Amino acid sequence: MHRDTVAEVSIGAIRDNVARIKRALPARVKLMAVVKADGYGHGAAVAAAAAERAGADLLAVAYLDEALQLRAKGTLLPILILTPIHPAEVMFALEHDLMITVASADWFRRMAPYRHSSCRKKLKVHVKADTGLGRIGLRTREEWDELAPWLSAEDVEVDGFYTHFATASREDTRFLRQQADTFLAMKTWVAESGIAVRHYHCAGSAAALRFPELAMDMVRIGAAMFGFYPEELVRDVSLRPALSLRSRLIQVKLLRRGECLGYDNSYVAEEDQWIGTVPIGYADGWSQSLRHSEMLVNGIRVQVVGKICMDQLMVRLPGRCEPGDEVVLIGRQGEERITFKELAACVGSVPQEISTGLSERVERIYTE
Is the pLDDT at 2 greater than 90? The verdict is no
Q: With beta carbons less than 8 A apart as the criterion, state whether 321 and 303 touch.
A: no
Residues with Cβ within 8 Å of 187's Cβ and at least 6 positions away in sequence, in order, are: 161, 200
Among the four given CATH numbers 3.30.300.30, 3.40.50.1370, 3.20.20.10, 3.40.50.720, the one describing domain 11-233: 3.20.20.10
Q: Residue 50 and residue 322: Cα distance in Å, rounded?
A: 38
The mean pLDDT value for 40-54 works out to: 98
The mean pLDDT value for 41-51 works out to: 98
Is the pLDDT at 1 greater than 80? The verdict is no
Q: How far is CA 324 from the centre of its chain?
A: 32
Predicted local confidence at residue 56, as pLDDT: 98
Per-residue model confidence as pLDDT tens digits over 309-321: 999 999 999 999 9
Per-residue model confidence as pLDDT tens digits over 163-201: 999 999 999 999 999 999 999 999 999 999 999 999 999
Percentage of residues of the chain with pLDDT beyond 70: 100
Is the pLDDT at 118 greater than 90? The verdict is no
| 150, 168, 308, 359 from 345: Cα distances, Å | 45, 18, 18, 20
Handedness of CA 46, 51, 57, 59 (dihedral sign): negative
Predicted local confidence at residue 120, as pLDDT: 87
Matching fold, domains 11-233 and 243-367: no
The CATH class of the 243-367 domain is mainly beta
Catalytically annotated residue among 73, 114, 253, 263: 263
Per-residue model confidence as pLDDT tens digits over 139-158: 999 999 999 999 999 999 99
Which residues carry a binding-site annotation for substrate? 135, 310
The mean pLDDT value for 292-311 works out to: 97
Is 282 considered catalytic here? no
Is 36 considered catalytic here? yes
**Residue 304 pLDDT grade (very low, low, confident, very high; cuts 50, 70, 90):** very high
| 8, 284, 347, 366 from 42: Cα distances, Å | 9, 14, 21, 9
Catalytically annotated residue among 36, 124, 128, 307: 36
**Residue 235 pLDDT grade (very low, low, confident, very high; cuts 50, 70, 90):** confident
Which residues carry a binding-site annotation? 135, 310
Q: Where are the domains of the chain?
A: 11-233, 243-367
